[in-house]
Amino acid sequence: MLDQPQVAAKAAIDPENFALANCLRALAIDAVNAANSGHPGAPMGMADAATVLFRKHLKFDASAPDWPDRDRFVLSNGHASMLLYGLLHLTGYADMTIEQIRNFRQWGAITAGHPEWGHAKGVETTTGPLGQGLATAVGMALAERALAAEFPGLVDHRTWVMLGDGCLQEGIGQEAISLAGHLGLGKLNLLYDNNDITIDGPTSVSFSEDVPARLAACGWHVIRCDGHDAEALDRAMTEAKAETGRPTLIAMKTLIGFGSPNRAGTAKAHGAPLGEEEGALAKAALGWEAAPFEIPAELAGTWQAIGARGAEARAEWEDALAASGQAEAFRHRIEGTLPEGYEAAVAEARKALFDAPQTVATRKASQIALERLAAAVPAMIGGSADLTGSNLTRVAAVDSAFTAEAPGRYIGYGVREFGMAAAMNGLALHGGFRPYGGTFLVFSDYARNAIRLSALMGLGVTYVMTHDSIGLGEDGPTHQPVEHLASLRAIPNLDVFRPADAVETLEAWDIALHRPATPALLALSRQGVPQLREAGAENLTARGAYVIRSFGARRDVTLLATGTEVALAVEAAEALHAEGHGVAVVSMPCWTLFDAQPEAYQAEVLGDAPRIAVEAASAFGWTRYVAREADVVGMPGFGASAPAERLYAEFGITAEAVAARARARIAG
């Protein structure tokens, strides 16, 4: 229960801040009530802090949401979305009209249940999956630091994150905290909504750690303050901005549902509307008299002025940009255009492969491609989750470590796959970068929800996932992906590539760089493969699938394969051809691109003859192209620990097995 004197005492500290914050609280109450779904408690509890932040500290200009040097504001506890929508509406973001607020959580509105990047201006990233906002913000702070070094005087902004207990309970939160502390991201500030309430009740049900002490152990600057004391909040934010060498945590003691007489401080305020009655009681307790969705003119005016606070700074920045001599280069970076010379670099890389074919693992082929591409594309920033020597993600052009002392083009993410993926999302969202990062394909599991967010947001992030099958050998089933290709192919808007050789690997990289709104995942081999492609100017991987070998004038059977199994399919085809059969071998490096081809092309590639597929993975999903799963030579279950060749033989993924399956199908 919240008693009236408590509200009054907080209000008295800074009455204007309190009144402005009440606008946010009222909108949250009204919108959640209107939607009859949503989370009023967190916006009500964080309104005072958000008001101080927007009113006095955040560098932004509501009339120019895309100003590259704006501070980034990330609402990591995305269920508090009405706080963000309220802020955007009140400060005057053009698209965030009161109609949008009234249509909170309704079809077609930009006010989704959780903030969705690309819907409303001012939403810097999609949040809701807990912990990821924070980890994405780490990527934004990395981007700021790296870009500032490249464009001195043009980049100097902070990243502010609001988050709750959930983000700190999620493991990814700790990955982000640890990395940010390690890299001394002094311009990253967290505002922790420490309200002691979680969905299941008081946080004491499951959470009793000393969060500030934990972050201090990870190298953070820590401040504790009352989250409803505007003066204390102002001091804390000022102090945070003064700290340059360490990220800052402002642990704010708050009351969830602040103002609601009967629900404040309880789990009931968390995820359900207050309803008419309690909403009215809350407004009365706050001294709020306006009608639903209405903001008194004076307060509205003050908020509009807050939204324009940064206009001057922005104008100065525009002048600085114009005077910098770097304007064009900077804009190209922010817009993500590939630099002049890029296509030539690809052509040279291609020619080099044709001149001297490479029998290498596709992970090595990726490194060969990266050598030229990363040199041609300064926006590329690499890294690995502590598997650099295995993923082969480090090349000369990015061979400068990102450290606490100086930004670099290579980020040692540590054994933090999920944190890496979310940070890459942040690097892409910030603008100026095309991030890529490596781990083993099997550990895509750890990063999976961030990969999903790359796809949902449509970000130009490239995942370099090596050791892509039982072909990795002795490390055994815990390290051998089986279901991963299928499970990743099922994600909408994700290009999953499994290139067959060095040429396809180069082509996959080229496509990834040309598609900034579609994340790419490269599944690459540990073991070597011959270079099957010998000439030709067309990027055939862009077709998704194509006939890579054809034996005989007619087609008795079509062999479909990806990655390391394409060479094996060719071997099987040669054997079948020697027996008099006509065989086409189709390499299918990317299903989504193939499915986007004209139907006639698809029909021509797939042909009318029976089809056999081979891929050292689960057959799941292959029935898109073959008649039944029995026509897939693949993995029936998990792998085993043994040298790779032995595993292929034991699991029956061999040219002989493919040929035998084909023979049986040809025979009918």
**Least distance CB 550 / a copy of itself (angstroms):** 25
- As a whole number of angstroms, the distance between CA 476 and CA 412 comes to 26
Question: Closest CB to a copy of itself among 212 and 292?
Answer: 212
Q: Is 197 part of any known ligand binding site?
A: yes
Please identify which residue in 56, 121, 182, 253 interacts with a copy of itself, judged by CB under 8 A.
Answer: 182
Please identify which residue in 8, 9, 37, 315 interacts with a copy of itself, judged by CB under 8 A.
Answer: 37
Question: Closest CB to a copy of itself among 286 and 485?
Answer: 485
* Interface pattern 479-518 for a copy of itself (x via CB under 8 A): x--xx--xxxxxxxx-------------------------
**Least distance CB 507 / a copy of itself (angstroms):** 24
Question: Closest CB to a copy of itself among 23 and 80?
Answer: 80
**Binding residues for a copy of itself restricted to 513-572, rule: CB under 8 A:** none
Q: Is 324 part of any known ligand binding site?
A: no
In this structure, the dihedral spanned by the alpha carbons of residues 178, 71, 92 and 49, taken in order and rounded to 10 degrees, is 50
The region, left, alpha or beta by phi > 0 then psi within -120 to 50, assigned to residue 497 is beta
- Which range touches a copy of itself (CB under 8 A), out of 30-38, 89-97, 527-535, 577-585? 30-38
Please identify which residue in 106, 337, 359, 400 interacts with a copy of itself, judged by CB under 8 A.
Answer: 106
Per the structure block, which two tokens stand in for 227? 């989250």
Please identify which residue in 7, 19, 130, 503 interacts with a copy of itself, judged by CB under 8 A.
Answer: 130
**Binding residues for a copy of itself restricted to 409-438, rule: CB under 8 A:** 412-419
**Least distance CB 610 / a copy of itself (angstroms):** 15
Question: Closest CB to a copy of itself among 79 and 333?
Answer: 79
* 179 lines the binding site for a copy of itself (CB under 8 A): yes
Question: Closest CB to a copy of itself among 554 and 628?
Answer: 628
- As a whole number of angstroms, the distance between CA 594 and CA 546 comes to 9
List residues bridging with 560 in a β-sheet.
586, 613
Angle at 587 between CA 572 and CA 516, to 5 degrees: 160
Please identify which residue in 41, 68, 181, 516 interacts with a copy of itself, judged by CB under 8 A.
Answer: 181
Could you say which DSSP state residue 652 is in?
T
- Which range touches a copy of itself (CB under 8 A), out of 12-20, 168-176, 225-233, 551-559? 168-176
Please identify which residue in 149, 199, 344, 396 interacts with a copy of itself, judged by CB under 8 A.
Answer: 199
* 173 lines the binding site for a copy of itself (CB under 8 A): yes
**Least distance CB 129 / a copy of itself (angstroms):** 6
Cβ atoms 115, 127 nearer than 8 A: yes
- Residue 265's identity, in one-letter code, is G
312 is catalytic: no
Residues whose CB falls within 8 Å of the CB of residue 61, separated by 6 or more in sequence, listed in order: 67, 70, 307, 308, 309, 310, 311, 313, 314
Q: Is 114 part of any known ligand binding site?
A: no
Angle at 442 between CA 437 and CA 447, to 5 degrees: 50
Total residues found in the chain within this entry? 668
Q: Is 443 part of any known ligand binding site?
A: yes
Residue with tokens 């152990």: 217
- As a whole number of angstroms, the distance between CA 47 and CA 49 comes to 6
* 388 lines the binding site for a copy of itself (CB under 8 A): yes
Beta strand 462-466 with 557-561 is: unpaired
- Of 278, 417, 565, 615, the catalytic one is 417
* Interface pattern 604-633 for a copy of itself (x via CB under 8 A): --------------x-xx-xx---xx----
- As a whole number of angstroms, the distance between CA 453 and CA 128 comes to 10
Cβ atoms 437, 144 nearer than 8 A: no
Question: Closest CB to a copy of itself among 417 and 495?
Answer: 417
Cβ atoms 237, 189 nearer than 8 A: yes
- As a whole number of angstroms, the distance between CA 200 and CA 491 comes to 31
Among 106, 34, 111, CA closest to 75: 111
Please identify which residue in 166, 257, 378, 382 interacts with a copy of itself, judged by CB under 8 A.
Answer: 166
Question: Closest CB to a copy of itself among 457 and 548?
Answer: 457
E strand residue ranges, 506-614: 520-523, 528-529, 546-551, 557-561, 583-587, 611-614
Q: Is 129 part of any known ligand binding site?
A: yes
Q: Is 270 part of any known ligand binding site?
A: yes
**Least distance CB 451 / a copy of itself (angstroms):** 9
> Could you give phi then psi for residue 597, rounded to 5 degrees?
-75, 160
Cβ atoms 159, 70 nearer than 8 A: no
* 386 lines the binding site for a copy of itself (CB under 8 A): yes
Integer Rg of the chain from CA: 28
- As a whole number of angstroms, the distance between CA 658 and CA 566 comes to 11
Please identify which residue in 148, 150, 156, 169 interacts with a copy of itself, judged by CB under 8 A.
Answer: 169
HEC string of 299-336 equals: HHHHHHHHHHCCHHHHHHHHHHHHHHCCHHHHHHHHHC
Q: How many of the chain's residues bind a copy of itself (CB under 8 A)?
A: 108
**Binding residues for a copy of itself restricted to 215-274, rule: CB under 8 A:** 216-219
* 637 lines the binding site for a copy of itself (CB under 8 A): yes
- Which range touches a copy of itself (CB under 8 A), out of 110-118, 297-305, 423-431, 599-607? 110-118
Q: Name the residues annotated as catalytic.
A: 417
Residues contributing to the annotated binding site: 39, 79, 128-130, 165-166, 195, 197, 270, 363, 390, 443, 467, 475, 479, 526
Residues contributing to the annotated binding site for Mg(2+): 165, 195, 197
Residues contributing to the annotated binding site for thiamine diphosphate: 79, 128-130, 166, 195, 270, 443
Residues contributing to the annotated binding site for substrate: 39, 270, 363, 390, 467, 475, 479, 526
